[in-house]
């Protein structure tokens, strides 16, 4: 199984119409052509006018065939012609990344009404991804659960940025997120884990990118 994360950057004010297009047209056509939806979010804290979504395929062949079938759909082509007649394209830039789930990524992540999501991306030095995955598998996920942080998905990038771990968490609220991370950071087992990493003389994670996400009305994960 592979996932594809796509980020659409819209013109100012264009996010509303983009979400309407996804809810009414794009998602039904995705379903028609075997493009499975994982989740759809807009950024509450991060970059304005962005739709972040993840879709799922069996493998690269399935992805190639599904996208080709989708783009060739007469209903999709008619929809695009109607949009072009209205005015300039709403979507100004598209970024996409091919993701491979880690062995410890939840098989059936569960969301919930009102949850706040967070996309986190950790960049490491070359060769450090195995050590980072080991730490997440043996320590981090368990401690996240202890402090009420929901594990949604974990991936490495097959096509995108090398030596990067992408993952998504969920919280009951922004306030609960703040309290959970504070408690997690003070956990004795976590502090011991970080101390051992420092003794090795090499920080596993060099750079952290994160953004706070709100699920769209049509997202499977709410």
Mean pLDDT of the chain: 93
- 41 token code pair: 């979010």
For 220, the 3-state DSSP assignment is coil
Residues 73, 26: contact at Cβ < 8 Å?
no
Encode 165-192: b = buried (16+ Cβ within 10 Å), e = exposed: bbbbbbbbeeeebeebbeebeeeeebee
Q: What is the mean pLDDT of residues 72-89?
A: 89
- Position of tokens 């490491």? 124
Least confident of 103-107, 109-113, 135-139: 109-113
Question: What confidence category does residue 222 fall into, taking pLDDT thresholds of 50, 70 and 90?
Answer: confident
Report in angstroms the alpha-carbon separations of 21 from 4, 10, 73, 78, 130. Answer: 20, 13, 16, 13, 40
Q: What is the mean pLDDT of residues 144-152?
A: 97
Closest C-alpha among 100, 113, 110 to residue 167: 100
CB-CB neighbours of 4 under 10 Å: 20
- 7 token code pair: 């980020």
Task: Please report the pLDDT score of residue 60 as a whole number.
Answer: 97
Spell out the domains of the chain, with CATH numbers in brackets. 2-99 (3.30.70.100), 101-215 (3.30.70.100)
Bridge partners, 213 (sequence order): 43, 117
More confident residue, 20 or 87: 20
pLDDT tens, position by position, 165-200:
999 999 999 999 999 999 999 999 999 998 887 776
Residues 197, 136: contact at Cβ < 8 Å?
no
- 184 token code pair: 């997690």
Distant-in-sequence, close-in-space partners of 139: CB < 8 Å, separation ≥ 6: 189, 190, 193
pTM over 0.75: yes
Flag whether pLDDT at 32 surpasses 80.
yes
Q: What is the mean pLDDT of residues 36-43?
A: 96
More confident residue, 16 or 86: 16
């Amino acid at each position: 199984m592979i996932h594809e994360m796509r980020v659409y950057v819209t013109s100012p004010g264009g996010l509303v119409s983009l979400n309407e297009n996804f809810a009414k047209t794009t998602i039904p056509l995705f379903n028609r052509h075997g493009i499975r939806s994982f989740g759809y979010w807009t950024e509450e804290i991060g970059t304005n006018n962005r739709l972040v979504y993840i879709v799922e395929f069996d493998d690269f062949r399935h992805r190639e065939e599904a996208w080709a079938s989708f783009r060739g759909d007469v209903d999709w082509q008619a929809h695009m012609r109607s949009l072009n007649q209205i005015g300039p394209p709403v979507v100004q830039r598209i970024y996409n990344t091919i993701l491979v789930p880690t062995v410890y990524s939840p098989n059936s992540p569960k969301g919930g009404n009102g949850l706040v999501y967070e996309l986190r991306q950790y960049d490491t030095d070359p060769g450090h991804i195995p050590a980072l995955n080991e730490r997440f598998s043996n320590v981090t996920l368990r401690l996240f659960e202890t402090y009420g942080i929901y594990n949604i998905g974990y991936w490495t990038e097959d096509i995108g940025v090398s030596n990067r771990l992408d993952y998504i968490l969920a919280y009951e609220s922004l306030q609960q997120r703040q309290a959970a991370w504070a408690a997690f950071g003070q956990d004795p087992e976590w502090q011991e884990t970080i101390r051992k990493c420092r003794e090795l003389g090499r920080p596993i994670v060099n750079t952290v990118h994160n953004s706070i996400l709100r699920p769209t009305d049509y997202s499977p994960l709410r």
